[in-house]
Structures are given as structure tokens and as C-alpha cells.
Amino acid sequence: MIRSVPLYLAAATLALVSGLAVSAAPDSEAAASDPATSNSKGWVEITLTDTQRCFATNGLPDHPTGTFPNRGNPNAIEAQEVRVCTPLQPEKAMTITPIRGTMGIAINGVVFRPNTAGFYDADAPRGHSPDGDRKWSLDIHGAPGKLGLDFNNAHVGPGGLYHYHGIANSLVETSGSSLIGFAGDGYPIHYIGEDAQAGYDLRSGTRTDSFGALTPGPGGTYDGTYNEDYIYVGGEGRLDPCNGGQLDGQYVYFVTDSYPFVPRCLTGKVSPDFNTANHREERGERRRRDTDRAERFRARRGGTGRPRGN
């Protein structure tokens, strides 16, 4: 059975993401002309099949954003063609999957991408670059102002993709609950503020390499600038290394107010639609990938898709 609803209203959002039976709705183009939605540039449609939850969206937010481009971010927000699917019934994997690209998608169609493309680089004007020392990866929350993060904890990638690095308060308002999205392995993503305590602590002392010797890298004390400044310690009442834990008897991920903010790994079997993109891909490659995803999405819905040239 397929159930499809464009998510323009909070009531529709709640019904659909909860997996409740929802009557069919007009297609996206028809819904876009609805007076109730005409003030929003962003749209998202979620389709439930027997095995998957699929998202089709233009990636534009349904809320105000900061100004882009800005001093820390030279990119303008552009509409995308995002079509991704997550498992409807998540399954634990034998090993965790580190996240390098997109880890999940919010209920409004904006994706979560927790990492940056910046690494310590003494020769770069800003002290970091995509070609820097990969032992020291820049955390966006540890470099305030440098990458143009707005008041939604979001910014824009080189291809125009607006994406979250933390919680946007409007997500809770849109949902009407703590549910704000779904991870690439299908587990829900929630935000409950200080009631969810991440398991990471800031290291103490001076930055060293993996052998304990002083590193020729950034030096200085651990201050949260880099992901490697943190260490997972866990403990009672704290989340697992992937920012996951139990909520009402169900395993879920949390976006938290402290590091890692957004999960940096996933514990389940990850859909191939996630964790494949990187910040440096060329726009032509992104469009080719989106076209391929669109055809897979149509096939999952029972359509044949249109033939295309090479």
C-alpha cells in the first residue's frame, strides 16, 4: 500500500510521520498553488510503502533563514531535487557506520549533514581547508562565525544545499512533538533538549597524536575546535556513541544541545541514499545522482520513469 501526502501543514506532518493511514493528496504541483501553502517556497512529500519511507523535496526550508551568502559562507540557497528512502522497519547492523555526508532528513525536507569539509591547514587563510590534515577535522560549532552558520544551526553547501548541523527550533513547532526527522537507517530523530545528554566530553590537556606525542598539527589545548577534541565516555543516563538511546521503549537518535549535536554515526543498516555525498562534488555530478535517485524513487512507487539519454 502507498500513502502520499505533501507536508505543508503540521497536522499532515504528524499524521504521516507517525505512519498513520492518510488519504491521498494532490500531487506536489497542484498543492503548490494552494493558498494555504503559497507563502512557503519549500515543499516535501513523504510516501510510505510496505518497506520504505521515501522523501521527495526541493530541500528549501519552511522557515526564515539567515542571509546567504554571508561573510563565512559564500553560497546561495538553491532548490534541489532530493529523493531519498529510509527503511520503514529499521534493523541493527553488525557494526556502526561513520557519517561522512547526509545522516538523515528532517520532516520539512531539509537534510542533516553533521560534518564539515574543513581540516586543519596552517597554510590556509582561515586555518582550515578541504586539503588539510585529516587527523584534525573542523567542527562547525567549534568555529563560530567561520562557516556562516545561521540561527537555525544551518548553512549552505557549494551546490546550494541548505542543511542542518544542529537543532532548528521550528522543527519542533512543525512537528508538534519531539519527532523531527528520520535517519538514513530508518530510526527516528528526536529533540528533547536537556533531557537527552550526549556521551561525549571535551578532552583535557594539550592536543597530541594517537601515539601520545606532541603533534605538529594545530597544537594548543583541546577547546572544541576539532572533532578530535572530544572523547566518548558514556555513562549512566547518557547517549551511546551515535547519539542514540531509548525513548518510550524505542531506539531513536537525538539532536542534542552539546557535542556531537547531530549523530556522527548510525547503528542500523543504512539506506544507499544516505552518506554518499560530499561537500566538494561538482554540480553536474549532483544532478546526475539526483536523476538516478528520481528514477529509483519512481520505480519504488510502481512507476516506470521516463527514458533518458546518457
Q: pLDDT of 202-240, one tens digit each? A: 999 998 765 455 557 898 999 999 999 999 999 999 999
What pLDDT, on the 0 to 100 scale, is given for residue 270? 98
Q: pLDDT of 80-95, one tens digit each? A: 999 999 999 999 999 9
Tell how strand 119-120 and strand 133-137 pair up. Answer: antiparallel
Could you give phi then psi for residue 12, rounded to 5 degrees?
-65, -40
Q: pLDDT of 21-42, one tens digit each? A: 222 233 333 233 232 222 358 9
Quick one: which of 102, 156, 97, 149 has its CA closest to 277? 102
pLDDT by position in tens, the chain (length 310) = 333 334 433 334 444 444 432 222 333 332 332 322 223 589 999 999 999 999 999 999 999 999 999 999 999 999 999 999 999 999 999 999 999 999 999 999 999 999 999 999 999 999 999 999 999 999 999 999 889 999 999 999 999 999 999 999 999 998 899 999 999 999 999 999 999 999 999 999 998 765 455 557 898 999 999 999 999 999 999 999 999 999 999 999 999 999 999 999 999 999 999 997 544 443 434 454 555 555 655 655 554 433 333 3
What pLDDT, on the 0 to 100 scale, is given for residue 26? 32
Domain boundary assignment for the chain: 3-300
Tell how strand 119-120 and strand 128-129 pair up. Answer: antiparallel
pTM for the whole structure: 0.80
Residues 6+ apart with CB under 8 A from 75: 68, 69, 155, 156, 157, 158, 159, 160
Instruction: Give the integer Cα–Cα distance in Å for 309 and 72.
Output: 39
Tell how strand 111-112 and strand 162-164 pair up. Answer: parallel
What pLDDT, on the 0 to 100 scale, is given for residue 145? 87
Give the bridge partners for 133, in sequence order. Answer: 120
